[in-house]
Amino acid sequence: MVMTVLGLAGSPRRGGNTETLLDWCLAGARAQGATVVKFSLCSLDLGGCQACDRCWTDGRCIVQDDMQMLYPHLRTADSIVLAAPIFFQGMPAVPKMMVDRCQCFWALKYVLHQSLVEPGRPERLGAFLSCSATKATHAFDGSLAILRSLWHVLEVTPAGELLSAGVDGKGEIAKQPGAQVAAEAIGRRLAQEREVERKDT
């Protein structure tokens, strides 16, 4: 079974430190034999959640923008990896908008009581990659809290984090000892074939 890994680049700076981490991670997944799909979120037409609660009726978001293209990938990918830097103690606005727009998945699960993923499929895995200019490790806490909530809604098991503090100027991540090796290792883990989940009947 070939695993599909969805990579989400959440920085407005293309080719920057977090996207480099993502590319290393996805390279590790490809080396493991996975099919990789990558999106640069800041290149998409994305708007924020309007809190209209229309998704409570059918689990679908009525806003017609590029989230409609992302939704199927978020539901079907075997693994998801989000790479986003730290801005003011949290992730930037665009990846946070993407997370907020998963409100329709929350409604599907907790209002309509429908399954987000097909029953009996292999466990889904998720990873978070991030860089922060400050060396204070608590700068990642806000983003990690958001990711815990997102993974729970998407029925994804956390399977790796790579948090690089004190990385600011473009290209500085390449000077971080072990960063590439760690990112590639996460990618390989995301791409490993998992057993189909079996539930007692």
Residue 103 domain-assigned (yes or no): yes
Residue 154 domain-assigned (yes or no): yes
Give the count of domains, the chain: 1
- Residue 5: predicted pLDDT: 96
Structural domain harbouring 68: 4-135+147-179+187-191
Residue 55 domain-assigned (yes or no): yes
Residue 197 domain-assigned (yes or no): no
Residue 71 domain-assigned (yes or no): yes
Name the strands in the sheet holding 124-132, side by side, starting at the edge strand that comes first in the sequence: 35-40, 4-9, 79-83, 124-132, 156-165
194/200 Cα distance (integer angstroms)? 18
42/112 Cα distance (integer angstroms)? 31
- Residue 196: predicted pLDDT: 61
Whole-structure pTM value:
0.91
Residue 95 domain-assigned (yes or no): yes
Asked if residue 137 has pLDDT above 90, the reply is no
Residue 142 domain-assigned (yes or no): no
Query: Which tens digits make up the pLDDT trace of 178-200?
Result: 999 999 999 999 998 776 654 44
Residue 196 domain-assigned (yes or no): no
CATH number, position 63? 3.40.50.360
